[in-house]
Amino acid sequence: MTYKKRIASLVLVDSLIVILSIFISFYMLLPFGELYDGQISTVLIPSSIVLLLSHHFFAYRYKLYKRVWQYSSVSELLGIIKAVSFSIIIVAVLQLALTGSLYTRTLVITWMMHILLIGGSRFAWRMYRDTYIKPDPDRKRALIIGAGAAGTTVARELKQKLNSELYPIGFIDDDFTKHHLEIMNIPVLGGVDQIEEIVKENRVEHIIIAIPSLSRNEIQRIYAECAKTSAETKILPLLEDIMTGKVEVNEIREVQVEDLLGREPVELDLEIISNNLEDKTILVTGAGGSIGSEICRQVSRFKPKKLILLGHGENSIYMIDMELRKKFGEIIEIIPIIADVQHRERIFEVVEEYKPSVIYHAAAHKHVPLMEYNPSEAVKNNIYGTKNIAEAAHEFGVENFVMVSTDKAVNPPNVMGATKRFAEMIVQNLAKESNTKFAAVRFGNVLGSRGSVIPLFKKQIEAGGPVTITDPEMTRYFMTIPEASRLVIQAGTLAEGGEVFVLDMGEPVKIVDLAKNLIRLSGYTEAEIKIKYSGIRPGEKLFEELLNEDEIQSEKVFPKIYVGKAMPLSKYELDFIISDLAGMCREEMVRTLISVANRKVVGDLIIGQRSS
């Protein structure tokens, strides 16, 4: 039925009900003599007309014609009661004006019949569906974890969607006061520690974790119990994803490794960030990458005037450009720029033309083993590229410059980490002489980013294994892409110049534990997908650090954010070494990078280069 036909049908049914209600009330309570003694013309007909008009007015006011009645609940019933009650009040005022008295009993009965018939007509279809339309016996039996508002919403959706493949047979909730009770005729069967037993007894095929406010630790605890069963486990989006608009509250998805290994999200100071970004021009380098694209998404929430997407990869910039235009194109001017940070003239040209207020520098080569084989490319992109964009920011008076760094810049034994430490020192030195507020942000491995272990492990699992791990003792810090991006944005508001911000990363995670979780999430056992140890690759460390001993500063500057005391080389030393890097042979370049990044034999290197 079309919208117009549906509205017309409801108006017609309501009109018949209204007229029927008031006429029946008068005929039930007034003697025939009184009715035919002028009462019909003086009271009943005017009351009927006013009641009819009032009903349609208040029905429109309380949106009775726009509600989906198959999902009706208490709020819909309250709308009916309000519409009927106000209509009766207006009729009572009319009767007082016409006759000086009230037909109280007729009004009361009219009110009751009105609510009964209007409500009955609305709820009839839902009652018919719930009573007579039985679920498809082939639908899979689902157990919902969480008997709160979200769990109830999921259960209602599954029950009322006849084409759904799942049907709820019970709830799980740790609130013992709900045990043995029923919600929408669905029993609360027990607590989380009883999941394995309940799944077996009730032949459950799917488990849905329906508590968006769960902490990461609670998700891990619940999933550990679900993993003991043969049922497929799914989850509702987390509260942070719902609040940022990434997903809908009822969007059920597979449990992901990010849910198990991610930590509690960083809470942003939204007011300060809004003041820093709203109605301003923002430039993001590496805008097509994992971190850069997420920074663009997060920044767009704060309604900048212009958002400049700068990147070297044509396809990746096109993709993020199209995504952001679809969501924010009407309120933000989005400008895609194809440029390489290594090309100094082009970068200066872009910054001069658009004069951004804030630059987020996320363009970098980050693959550790790959950069061991290509140190000159790491130098050109990570060092010279950073120098170009940072000096352009200084030259053209950019207010804030935030560089994305890495925990691998701490005591680096590899080329990638050493080049990122060089980049940090470039930014720190510029901060001493510039009005631009320069800062760097360090974080650990980002879950699901390009080049991270998770996509690699997933491909290996899809191929039937084995999952290759370099060493059983190897550990890494992990964070989600949105969390990393939020840290970068928040750091821009905290910067006073020259800081290296570090997130409180919590406890490091063993890579082997990450692999085991992924194997389970993919529906396999460790007996089916083997784990193979391949040995540490060139440039890798067993354990990562976020700050070395000289940089540690115990006090947080923001919840979960530290500022390190990372000290750069002097500008003279740094410029002298950087100027000679391009002319070095591969072995000499690698040796110089790692030595200088670890502040070793810097003076000897300079003396040696001068004498040569």
Task: Provide the domain count of the chain.
Answer: 3
pLDDT beyond 80 at 539: no
Confidence at residue 261, expressed as pLDDT on a 0 to 100 scale: 63
Q: Per-residue pLDDT tens for 450-497? A: 666 777 888 888 888 889 988 888 887 777 777 778 878 888 888 888
Confidence at residue 130, expressed as pLDDT on a 0 to 100 scale: 61
Q: How far apart are CA 170 and CA 571, in angstroms?
A: 67
Long-range contacts of the stretch 104-110 (C-beta < 8 A, 24+): 105/25, 105/29, 106/22, 106/25, 106/26, 106/28, 106/29, 106/30, 107/25, 109/24, 109/25, 109/28, 109/29, 110/21, 110/22, 110/25, 110/51
pTM recorded for the entire structure: 0.65
- 178 and 63, same domain (yes or no): no
Confidence at residue 320, expressed as pLDDT on a 0 to 100 scale: 95
Q: Who wins on pLDDT, 426 or 4?
A: 426
Q: Provide the 3-class DSSP secondary structure of residue 117.
A: helix
Q: How far apart are CA 494 and CA 455, in angstroms?
A: 33
Confidence at residue 346, expressed as pLDDT on a 0 to 100 scale: 96
- 381 and 237, same domain (yes or no): no
Reported as a pLDDT band with limits 50, 70 and 90, residue 7 is confident
- 375 and 406, same domain (yes or no): yes
- 570 and 471, same domain (yes or no): yes
Report residue 228 as tokens: 């003991």
Reported as a pLDDT band with limits 50, 70 and 90, residue 545 is low
Q: Who wins on pLDDT, 216 or 575?
A: 575
192-196, 315-319, 411-415: least confidently modelled range: 411-415
Closest to 318 measured CA to CA, from 342, 301, 334: 334
The answer to whether residue 608 sits within a structural domain is no
Confidence at residue 611, expressed as pLDDT on a 0 to 100 scale: 41
Q: How far apart are CA 53 and CA 142, in angstroms?
A: 47
Q: How far is CA 33 from the centre of its chain?
A: 71
The answer to whether residue 602 sits within a structural domain is no
Q: How far apart are CA 248 and CA 358, in angstroms?
A: 31
- 189 and 312, same domain (yes or no): no
Q: Per-residue pLDDT tens for 257-280? A: 666 665 565 566 778 888 889 999
pLDDT beyond 60 at 242: no
pLDDT beyond 80 at 437: yes
pLDDT beyond 60 at 363: yes
Q: Per-residue pLDDT tens for 507-522? A: 777 888 888 878 877 7
> What are the CA-CA distances from residue 482 to residues 60, 299, 545 (Å)?
43, 11, 21
Q: How far apart are CA 82 and CA 115, in angstroms?
A: 10
The answer to whether residue 582 sits within a structural domain is yes
Reported as a pLDDT band with limits 50, 70 and 90, residue 97 is confident
Q: CB-based contacts of 139: which residues, under 8 Å, 6+ apart?
A: 164, 165, 166, 167
The answer to whether residue 199 sits within a structural domain is yes
Q: Are strands 306-311 and 358-361 parallel, antiparallel or unpaired?
A: unpaired
Q: Who wins on pLDDT, 514 or 309?
A: 309
- 522 and 506, same domain (yes or no): yes
Confidence at residue 608, expressed as pLDDT on a 0 to 100 scale: 47
Asked which of 204, 221, 255 is the last residue of a domain, the reply is 255
- 287 and 373, same domain (yes or no): yes
What are phi and psi for residue 144, nearest 5 degrees? Answer: -105, 125
- 64 and 109, same domain (yes or no): yes
Q: Are strands 206-209 and 186-190 parallel, antiparallel or unpaired?
A: unpaired
Q: Are strands 445-447 and 478-480 parallel, antiparallel or unpaired?
A: parallel
pLDDT beyond 70 at 249: no
Range list of β-strands (E), 242-387: 253-254, 281-285, 306-311, 333-338, 358-361
- The domain spanning residue 180 has which CATH number? 3.40.50.720
Reported as a pLDDT band with limits 50, 70 and 90, residue 232 is confident
Confidence at residue 407, expressed as pLDDT on a 0 to 100 scale: 80
pLDDT beyond 50 at 605: no
- 291 and 353, same domain (yes or no): yes
Asked which of 255, 281, 310 is the last residue of a domain, the reply is 255
pLDDT beyond 60 at 37: no
H-helix or E-strand spanning residue 189:
strand 186-190
The answer to whether residue 609 sits within a structural domain is no
Which residues form the catalytic set? 408
The DSSP line for 382-413 is IIIHHHHHHHHHHHTT-SEEEEE--GGGSS--
Confidence at residue 254, expressed as pLDDT on a 0 to 100 scale: 67
Show the domain range for 458: 270-597
Residue 474 has a CB neighbour count (10 Å cut-off) of: 19
- 424 and 499, same domain (yes or no): yes
- 237 and 274, same domain (yes or no): no
Asked which of 101, 132, 163 is the last residue of a domain, the reply is 132
Q: What is the largest CA-CA distance in the chain?
A: 126
**Mean pLDDT over residues 359-364, rounded?**
95
**Mean pLDDT over residues 413-434, rounded?**
91
The answer to whether residue 368 sits within a structural domain is yes
Q: Who wins on pLDDT, 356 or 13?
A: 356
What share of the chain has pLDDT > 70, as a percent? 79
> What are the CA-CA distances from residue 94 to residues 83, 97, 107, 569 (Å)?
17, 5, 12, 89
Q: Per-residue pLDDT tens for 186-223? A: 899 999 999 999 999 999 988 998 887 777 778 878 88
H-helix or E-strand spanning residue 590:
helix 586-597
What share of the chain has pLDDT > 90, as a percent? 26
- 222 and 364, same domain (yes or no): no
pLDDT beyond 90 at 350: yes
Q: What is the mean pLDDT of the chain?
A: 80
Report residue 148 as tokens: 């709160």
The answer to whether residue 288 sits within a structural domain is yes
The answer to whether residue 531 sits within a structural domain is yes
> Alpha-carbon Rg of the chain, whole angstroms?
33
pLDDT beyond 50 at 549: yes
**Mean pLDDT over residues 436-453, rounded?**
77
Confidence at residue 333, expressed as pLDDT on a 0 to 100 scale: 95
144-158, 368-382, 467-481, 534-548: least confidently modelled range: 534-548
Q: Per-residue pLDDT tens for 138-189? A: 788 899 998 888 888 888 778 777 667 888 889 999 888 888 888 878 899 9
